[in-house]
A and B are shown apart, each in its own frame.
Chain A
Amino acid sequence: MTEPLILESVLDLKAAAALKTALLERRGQPLSVDASGVQRLGALCLQILMAARHTWADDTNPLAITPRSDAFNESVRLFGANAHLADVMLEGAA
């Protein structure tokens, strides 16, 4: 697996484009996303992560979002996205 993608602490509107670019650059290979530093996750970045999950699944590459901060987990819960991201959020919070 390549270097993990370390997420910014604030994933809001301003972080969305960079996140998408960063993910696309890593397409085609197994990826580990480090969400341990995330303090804030907005809906725009959430949907990018969800889209990435589909893309990696289509490519049959493994994707894992781990470790994760409590804030990240809480946000995913708040968004009602636990079920959608369950397969990439297997381990517990970091």
Chain B
Amino acid sequence: MDELEEIKVTFFQECDELMADCEVGLLAMEAGTGDAETINAVFRAVHSVKGGAGAFGLEALVRYAHVFETLMEEVRSQRVVAEPELVRCLLRAADVLADQITAARIHGRPNEAATAAMVVELEGWITGHAGAAPADAPPASAGLDAPIEFAPVAFAPMALDPIAPASDDFGFQPMTIAIPDLPDLDFQPSQAVMDILADAPGPAVWLVTFKPHSDLYAKANEAALLLRELERLGSVETTLDESDLPDLENMEAESAYLGWTVRLTAEIEEAAIREVFEFVDGDCELTICRDGAAPESEAAADPIAALLAQAAAPMPVIDPIAPIPTPQPADAAAALMAELAAKPPSETPIPRLAAAAPASDEFGFTPTAAAPVASLPDAPVALAAPAPVEMAPAAAAAQAAVKGGAAPPAASQATIRVDPERIDKLIDLVGELVINQAMLAQRVAEHGFAPSSNIAMGLDELEQLTRSIQDGVMAIRAQSVKSVFQRMPRLVREVAAQTRKQARLVTDGEATEVDKTVIERLSDPITHMLRNAIDHGLETPAERIEAGKPAEGTVRLAALHRGGRIVIEVSDDGRGINRPRVRQIAIDKNLIQPDAVLTDEETDNLIFLPGFSTASVVSDISGRGVGMDVVRRSVQALGGRISIASRPGEGSTFTLSLPLTLAVLDGMVVDVAGHTLVVPLTAIIESLRPKADEVRALGPQGSVLAVRDSYVPLIDIGCVFGFRKVPIAPNEGVVLLIESEDGTRAALVADDIQGQRQVVIKSLESNYRQVEGIAAATILGDGRVALIADVDAMVAMRRRAAPADPVLYAAE
């Protein structure tokens, strides 16, 4: 993967996070819990997507994001009220944006009709003619045929991503936003624009001088994109500086030699210009000043001269907007300088000022973003001197700028990105460490060291340490289920729309953490259960009102930790499972005998049978040949179980329980015919040594065990795996009473129990091949490989082996 592609991959990863933020914010707005900061967060997310897309020349994405951003800007500045209908529109707009990002990622074509329709709808809100744009998406053609103003100045084929040639088929619509107040302006209004309009109307002429470093190009940025962005802000006169250009022989092909000065006439604030350079911060020299004012880099070069000039000159020349500190006599400034120079550096408020600097127009001084503070050692001190009281407003201004999204996002990054492979490798290694430690412990025990001996105690400490490391490493890979949950609101919206039902998703326990490997596989079952809940569980609005319920149904998605497992619950307040119908379908499909006597619970569980589908009309949503049986199988494959509870008229709850990790497992280590096996502890209800009279023979080979008031089939583990032909007498061995995923019980017979142990799971499939009845393997303390039994598969194998299944009938 070349460098550009790598950066692009990171960009798309960030897009995912940004879209997640965006959705969270919009949902908060929908729920009425959003505040100004929520709106800002959504705005920033969309803005950042646009910025990144611009850097990669993803024009279609930029164009769409721009319209979205503009509407968010209107919402942010409260010119457009965030009424519920608008928020719903924004949610759909976010969905379209996510689709656009996906299309860009896979070099595919976005759904142009949907995009165009969305653009028209967004513009309807921007121009305040929301009524004209119906809440339902207008016909696709409307978006393309609508009389939209074009501003082709910002468009040039050059900026097109060469790998997405389709992107300009779309028709160009970025500059289409007609702001009624500003009909003649061809720049995009931003917060900065509105501020300046409110505070200091009048056109401004900015001189933007920038000279890219070679790094800028190496990072796949392009001066052309910066120039194009500047063109979007207003009218420009671009002057190219080739004074540093060497002759062809001596130049480095990938070094930067050119610089530009852009005279930009636009009613915008400096922050808006800085935004253009947000993504090349540090990779180019940049000065921005008002035409007529001295460029600040010069001021920075000679702070005292600048200060003197400032003191002598009438202030408004430097910055007409800024509240200027009272002019200081030159000698006062010099005195303050001297005073400051005498102070130890730690007492000078440099850091605060530095932080505030980008927005500190109060001083008529704006250090360039490209010039790090370090390169201006004296300037901040000099500025701090004459007006220490100005510090607070300056900091406040900076804060406001950050809040307003005008400043670059906070530089501090709370997380780091690590290649998952590295973590997987670390987990593997820790697994080896655990095994090694167990082996060492075993050898020490074999040599007969007393438990109080130094070596044994040292080993105990090692064991604790190993366990801590293991927990710590597993915690690295643990992720909150949020990443899965946050994809679901969109699903609910779409499924509800398709089924013409009204559904509201309530989520709970998003912060619940679980191993990444489990997270990755949670999405499908949850998706399916949610679809099912809306499609089959919820009634239509009319039916709900008739039943005395609110028209809008509620689907609840919750995650919680319970007993060392993660539990996912999907519940709805719909009609509940229609048991007579489920039973009839099961009979019609020959899944049960017509005279079978089933409890309510057993009836409910029929829906997990393969080939069962209750939808009389095969719908788009659920009836796609994948039933709940698939959900159950995928859950079981993860070592999980799924159950259902339903009350007619009140709704159903699906409960999914999964191990927290797929890397370690608590198991019962048992001996079977000289082999060592591990039985997952989650399946075991109890272990017992049966008495001879509790075992009853059944048929030629089978036998059942009387456990309390019921009989359960006895399964000799050794026979199942072919370790021996003749089962041992159950009263001579140990019986593990297990419950399989479908709730049926069985008694597994082993020779002896070694004990409970946490074992590190080693995949058998990836190291050998799949073996029926065996879930995985592990390495024991003595270095031997032990197989981890797949309890359900064992029970199933046993059932197949018993021809007429007399054992099960007898058990009932």
Binding site for B on A (CB under 8 A): 9-10, 12-14, 16-17, 19-20, 23-24, 27, 39-44, 46-48, 50-52, 54-55, 58, 70-71, 74-75, 78-81, 83-84
With A43-B256, A47-B245, A58-B247: A74-B158 Cβ-Cβ less than 8 Å: yes
CB within 8 Å of A: which B152-174 residues: 156-160, 162
27 interchain pairs, CB-CB under 8 A: A13-B254, A14-B4, A16-B253, A17-B254, A20-B251, A23-B248, A24-B249, A27-B248, A40-B158, A43-B224, A43-B256, A44-B256, A47-B256, A51-B246, A54-B245, A58-B247, A70-B157, A74-B158, A75-B224, A78-B156, A78-B224, A78-B238, A79-B227, A79-B240, A79-B258, A80-B240, A84-B242
CB within 8 Å of A: which B213-248 residues: 217-218, 220, 222-224, 227-228, 231, 237-240, 242, 245-248
B257 interfacial contact with A, CB 8 Å: yes
Contact indicator B220/A75 (Cβ below 8 Å): no
Contact indicator B158/A54 (Cβ below 8 Å): no
Distance of A55 Cα from B251 Cα, bound (Å) = 11
B260 interfacial contact with A, CB 8 Å: yes
Measured CB to CB, the closest approach of chain B to A42, in angstroms, equals: 5
B212 interfacial contact with A, CB 8 Å: yes
- Interface hub of B4, B239, B253, B257 (most chain A Cβ within 10 A): B253
By a CB distance below 8 angstroms, the chain B residues around A10 are 162
With A20-B248, A20-B251: A43-B258 Cβ-Cβ less than 8 Å: yes
By a CB distance below 8 angstroms, the chain A residues around B237 are 80
- Interface hub of B4, B156, B248 (most chain A Cβ within 10 A): B248
Kindly list 15 other residue pairs between chains A and B, CB separation below 8 angstroms, not including A42-B222, A55-B248, A81-B240.
A13-B254, A16-B253, A40-B159, A40-B160, A43-B222, A43-B258, A47-B242, A47-B245, A47-B258, A48-B253, A55-B249, A58-B247, A70-B157, A78-B231, A80-B260
By a CB distance below 8 angstroms, the chain A residues around B242 are 47, 50, 84
Distance of A79 Cα from B222 Cα, bound (Å) = 11
Distance of A57 Cα from B733 Cα, bound (Å) = 98
With A9-B162, A16-B254, A44-B217: A75-B245 Cβ-Cβ less than 8 Å: no
Contact indicator B223/A43 (Cβ below 8 Å): yes
By a CB distance below 8 angstroms, the chain A residues around B249 are 24, 55
Distance of A65 Cα from B248 Cα, bound (Å) = 16
Distance of A22 Cα from B242 Cα, bound (Å) = 22
By a CB distance below 8 angstroms, the chain A residues around B258 are 43, 46-47, 50, 79
**Shortest 6 CB-CB contacts between residues of A and residues of B:** A80-B238, A43-B223, A17-B253, A16-B253, A80-B240, A55-B248
By a CB distance below 8 angstroms, the chain A residues around B217 are 13, 42-44
Measured CB to CB, the closest approach of chain B to A29, in angstroms, equals: 14
With A39-B160, A40-B162: A13-B245 Cβ-Cβ less than 8 Å: no
Q: For B156, give its contact among A14, A52, A75 (CB under 8 Å).
A: A75
Q: Interface 1/0s, chain B 133-162, versus A by CB < 8 A?
A: 000000000000000000000001111101
Distance of A71 Cα from B242 Cα, bound (Å) = 22
By a CB distance below 8 angstroms, the chain B residues around A12 are 222
Distance of A79 Cα from B247 Cα, bound (Å) = 19
Measured CB to CB, the closest approach of chain B to A61, in angstroms, equals: 12
Distance of A51 Cα from B220 Cα, bound (Å) = 22
Distance of A14 Cα from B408 Cα, bound (Å) = 29
In the complex, residue of chain B having the shortest beta-carbon distance to the beta carbon of A55: B248
Contact indicator A47/B238 (Cβ below 8 Å): no
By a CB distance below 8 angstroms, the chain A residues around B224 are 41-43, 75, 78-79
Contact indicator A48/B212 (Cβ below 8 Å): no
Measured CB to CB, the closest approach of chain A to B75, in angstroms, equals: 33
